[in-house]
């Protein structure tokens, strides 16, 4: 699931340099030869030492200014584990000198780190690098890093620039089995009239407090008195989902099942309450927001009796309380009507 592009802001880059392996060895040999030449009064050894130092010094004098390189990042703000997201890096050389070929490394939770080659850019030059990147793990990222580095001009020193990029990316759980929930029957009170629908239910005479938007002018003219339309009540089922379990492979499978079961309920016009230890509750029925909530879940502790009782009170006698757990706790049996969801999508009474 994707939704638009993640807006990105960038912090001031941090630049630095360090000798490469070749540069360090060359510098060490030059220093040793210089000391020996001074001790032995050997001008030829001194000349060789100076020749070895020359490319090291030139590489520092001609080092590229990576602080003049800016990177803008664009990506889908939402993606599910196993799906690919198209991500684009816009690189701009703001400096007055041409930049050499640069390596760009990007790390962000939910995706494997990547390295891309940025071609040499003239002053004011731009490059656009686009890659399709698979999401490998669930999570939400806000701040992640872009690293630029090059060993130009002679490979004697490694020049780096670190840029912090702020862009929210939610990696949702992979699509999983959908648990089969008990059917909702409006005729038996299997839901609550949470809002008014669009279909007319009946006509009646206007009463104080009725909105003018409800007036049926054709019926008013026919009966010679203000007549309003009463729309039908839309029945919405209530589903409270409580998550419990340690962070392991089986738990990730459980989250996938619970997430997509909740999404199915939201798409069926249900109202959801999502609860987990250490996370704020979610209340609503937006599928994208439901998956965002599951993406942000961290390590969980055991659910206590009060959490389940709160969920049961909210759901009421006509709603459903679903405990998603790899190890259903005895506490579930203490709350009447709680159902247990397993990673393979089975729903059973506690």
Backbone angles phi, psi at 64, to 5 degrees: -70, 145
Sketch the domain layout of the chain as residue ranges: 9-18+63-172, 196-235, 237-349
> What Cα–Cα distance (Å) separates residue 263 from each residue in 128, 138, 258?
36, 16, 9
CATH 3.40.50.2300 fits 9-18+63-172, yes or no: no
Reported pTM: 0.73
pLDDT per residue as tens digits for the range 31-87: 888 888 888 888 888 888 788 777 777 777 777 888 899 898 999 999 999 999 999
pLDDT per residue as tens digits for the range 204-224: 887 877 777 778 888 888 888
User: Given a cut of 50, is residue 186 above it in pLDDT?
Assistant: no
Which pLDDT score, from 0 to 100, does residue 263 have? Answer: 95
> What Cα–Cα distance (Å) separates residue 277 from each residue in 24, 95, 341?
52, 50, 17
Which pLDDT score, from 0 to 100, does residue 201 have? Answer: 58
Q: How far apart are CA 333 and CA 62, in angstroms?
A: 73
Residue 27: how many other CB atoms lie within 10 Å = 17
Q: Name the band, by pLDDT with cuts 50, 70 and 90, for residue 124.
A: very high
Q: Name the band, by pLDDT with cuts 50, 70 and 90, for residue 1.
A: very low
Q: How far apart are CA 82 and CA 80, in angstroms?
A: 6
> Tell me, which fold does domain 237-349 have in CATH?
Rossmann fold (3.40.50)
Mean pLDDT value across residues 280-284: 93
């Amino acid at each position: 699931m994707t939704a638009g592009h993640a807006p990105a802001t960038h912090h001031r880059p941090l630049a630095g340099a360090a000798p490469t392996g070749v540069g360090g060895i060359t510098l060490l040999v030059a220093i040793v030869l210089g000391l020996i030449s001074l001790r032995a009064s050997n001008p030829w050894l001194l000349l060789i030492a100076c020749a070895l130092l020359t490319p090291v010094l030139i590489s520092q004098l001609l080092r590229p200014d990576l602080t003049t390189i800016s990177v803008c990042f664009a990506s889908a703000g939402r993606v599910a584990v196993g799906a690919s997201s198209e991500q684009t890096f816009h690189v701009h050389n703001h400096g007055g000198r041409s930049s050499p070929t640069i390596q760009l490394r990007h790390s962000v939770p939910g995706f494997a780190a990547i390295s891309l080659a940025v071609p040499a850019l003239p002053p004011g030059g731009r490059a656009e690098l686009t890659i399709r990147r698979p999401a490998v793990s669930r999570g939400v990222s806000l701040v992640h890093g872009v690293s630029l580095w090059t060993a130009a001009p002679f490979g004697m020193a490694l020049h780096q620039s670190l840029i912090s990029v702020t862009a929210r990316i939610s990696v949702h759980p992979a699509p999983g089995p959908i648990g089969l929930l008990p059917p909702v029957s409006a005729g038996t009170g299997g839901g609550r009239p949470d809002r008014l629908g669009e279909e007319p239910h009946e006509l009646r005479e206007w009463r104080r407090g009725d909105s003018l938007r409800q007036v049926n002018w054709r019926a008013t003219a026919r009966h010679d008195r203000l007549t309003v339309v009463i729309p039908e009540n839309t029945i919405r089922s209530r589903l409270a989902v409580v998550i419990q379990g340690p962070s392991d492979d089986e738990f990730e499978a459980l989250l996938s099942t619970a997430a997509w079961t909740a999404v199915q309920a939201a798409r069926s016009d249900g109202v959801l309450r999502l609860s987990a230890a250490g996370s704020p509750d979610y209340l609503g029925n937006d599928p994208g927001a439901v998956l965002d909530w599951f993406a942000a879940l961290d390590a969980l502790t055991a659910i206590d009796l009060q959490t389940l009782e709160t969920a049961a009170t909210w759901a009421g006698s006509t709603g459903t309380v679903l405990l998603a757990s790899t190890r259903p706790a005895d506490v579930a049996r203490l709350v009447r009507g709680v159902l247990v969801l397993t990673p393979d999508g089975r729903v059973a009474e506690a």
